[in-house]
A and B are shown apart, each in its own frame.
Chain A
């Protein structure tokens, strides 16, 4: 195939990257810790840690896992944290100890959590105390042997730490009572690790860095196997793309998307650690007033987000002022995860003077596949050009390339593409073509300049603010309710989140209410998967042979209420 997109590359961006620039993410971190030792690496609520401190703290946590707990290389360690200073410490600690990280959405319900911990075979987990009760309910059926708990302020300076931890627990009452026998406090774990010598873990590019969970069409989440090599390659690809825009040791990026999601993990944390940049972590971007206040205090040069987040900022009181004062400083605003609305992109550029640059990727590709040019100065409405060392093809049903400009399935090859799904050979086989192309499940086309354009989804998936919700999982949960005979979930467009879940239910119990269905769902499904709309039907539309007719459901869901 001819890589026609290369002719559209900005000057200075290489067509290929060195996927072996670092032998592992550990080497990437260690080099930055040496080169940028005294620079701020991470900050949260105004409290910074330097690269030197990140080095020491992550070393201590690594030694704790390795020596105090006696975990083995390749054991799975879960991180169940929002964006806090503890996140990068735990992440790099686990990786430096030679372990595989399993990122867990802290807002998961006990049943979602139990499934993910059991499927990945996690043996140790670090959890924010606020979510420890959920963990407590999920532990029994897993192989988790060690639990480390942390409080929001644990890495803040002493006085601040005491104040914040007290406020979270006793004033805001954000910590439901929990009891996990044998759980170790995070600060205690660091102290234990500090007394141990960290053994050299020989971690190479083929070792598994992450089992990164993503939804599956059949209802169960699957763990994408991302190696150190995959992740290093993707960091290099993004860094090469950003070469003309971002400078080493000079950038501050606003990290408001959760780091447990692969987009912020790679695009923010790992890329900016490579560059010796500063990640300013926003713990709760939904608190939009607090978010804007943080932005006002931070001199930032880059920001990433999803359409929903940029839109919320633009509508927030006080953001106009922040945007005006960031003119001249802000260099880059990147949006991924979901389609960007042109109106939002235009408002953003007007407010900040910087365009929203859209990127495209998926968990299975670590995740970045395409990006728009950072130097173009305007929003394109396209997914962008394939990144260096990335091949994108548009395939027909038989896996053959379609003619240029025609619609087909977007497929990817490159060093960032996962090895497969954890313990799921059949799903893995289905994810790739015979020639090794990763099938994205998205339909689109490529234009004559090599820009990839999204058309629609081939898989039945509902994308809510960049998070993927699969109808099968929602239906599975709903049908566990004894009052439900049948259920069908479909996506409807939603102004705030792009898409939202609409649910159709056939009652078994005639007295069943929408509130009861929603309450039941909330017990098993995290927020973004919850139906925004519930309607009852006598039956679901089905074909003669009993296949659900989702198109008809979608049409019904698209009709206005009443």
Chain B
């Protein structure tokens, strides 16, 4: 069992005064992740999986929460409501077989768009990736997801067309 990288846990205050926690995902987060995905709008879910996802399957939840913190790293952003914790965003990478490059994915709860947490998650994820010697981080973004494309370009990503597929853009950031 991989060790939980507790040093990646951080608290942040957002510009609107709210406080959130960024931390690596845990196996015990399954219920929270399920809740998070269920609450996403169809649009947000489609952007993340690029297909229609109903209720997330057990297999998907397991894939998302049972990670080794090395080849597969995931950070969640959580907010507290009293003693209840809620996931409001998550970002992850999965290493490609070559071990040097990895694929990135990020999704933010609809009500938390433009709150600044996407930037925090991406910075933290990129830091974690560099720590593990990843040389470049890549992703696939729907071509009409202009908000995401603009966001990653501001973070220093290149956006490139995918051969034979105009509906998708490849985003790449080399370290």
A residues in contact (CB < 8 Å) with B: 217-220, 397-399, 426-427, 430, 439, 441, 443, 456-460, 471-473, 475-476, 479-480, 485, 487-488, 543-548, 550-551, 554-555
Contact = CB atoms under 8 A, between A and B. Distances in A.
Contact of A472 (B42, B57, B105): B42
A397 B54 CA distance: 30
B46 to A, nearest CB: 5
18 contacts: A218-B46, A220-B42, A397-B143, A427-B43, A430-B43, A443-B166, A457-B166, A458-B144, A459-B167, A472-B42, A472-B52, A543-B103, A546-B49, A546-B60, A547-B49, A547-B105, A548-B49, A551-B162
B28 interface: no
B135 to A, nearest CB: 16
A233 B95 CA distance: 54
A545 B94 contact: yes
A48 B127 CA distance: 74
A398 B63 CA distance: 34
Interface of B: 41-43, 45-46, 48-52, 54, 57, 60, 63, 92-96, 102-105, 110, 139-140, 142-144, 146-147, 149-150, 159, 162, 164-169
Given A426-B43, A460-B167, A479-B54, A397 B146 contact: yes
Contacts of B48: 547
Nearest to B104: A545
Contacts of A550: 50-51, 165, 167-168
A476 B50 CA distance: 13
B107 to A, nearest CB: 11
Given A220-B42, A458-B144, 14 more contacts: A219-B46, A439-B144, A441-B144, A458-B143, A458-B166, A472-B52, A545-B93, A545-B94, A546-B49, A547-B49, A548-B50, A551-B162, A551-B164, A555-B164
Contacts of A439: 144
B140 A543 contact: yes
Contacts, number: 98
Interface residues of chain B: helix, strand, loop or mixed (majority) = mixed
A545 B144 contact: no
Contact of B140 (A397, A398, A547): A547
A461 to B, nearest CB: 9
A217 B54 contact: no
A449 to B, nearest CB: 25
A217 B46 contact: yes
Nearest to B93: A545
A443 B105 CA distance: 26
Given A476-B54, A544-B96, A545-B93, A459 B144 contact: yes
Contacts of A471: 51-52
A153 to B, nearest CB: 42
A462 to B, nearest CB: 12
Contacts of B102: 544
A543 to B, nearest CB: 6
A397 B159 contact: yes
Contacts of A551: 162, 164-165, 168
B49 to A, nearest CB: 6
A427 B54 CA distance: 20
Contacts of B51: 471-472, 475, 488, 547-548, 550
Q: Which of B43, B60, B104, B139 has the most CB of A within 10 A?
A: B43
4 closest cross-chain pairs (CB), A and B: A475-B52, A218-B42, A551-B165, A544-B94
By CB atoms of chain A within 10 A, which of B94, B104, B144, B162 has the most? B144
A547 B50 contact: yes
Contacts of A544: 94-96, 102-103
Contacts of B43: 217-218, 426-427, 430
B49 A458 contact: no
Contacts of B60: 546
Contacts of B95: 544
B166 A545 contact: no
A504 to B, nearest CB: 11
A219 B169 CA distance: 21
Interface-central residue, B49, B50, B54, B142, by most chain A CB under 10 Å? B50
A550 B162 CA distance: 12
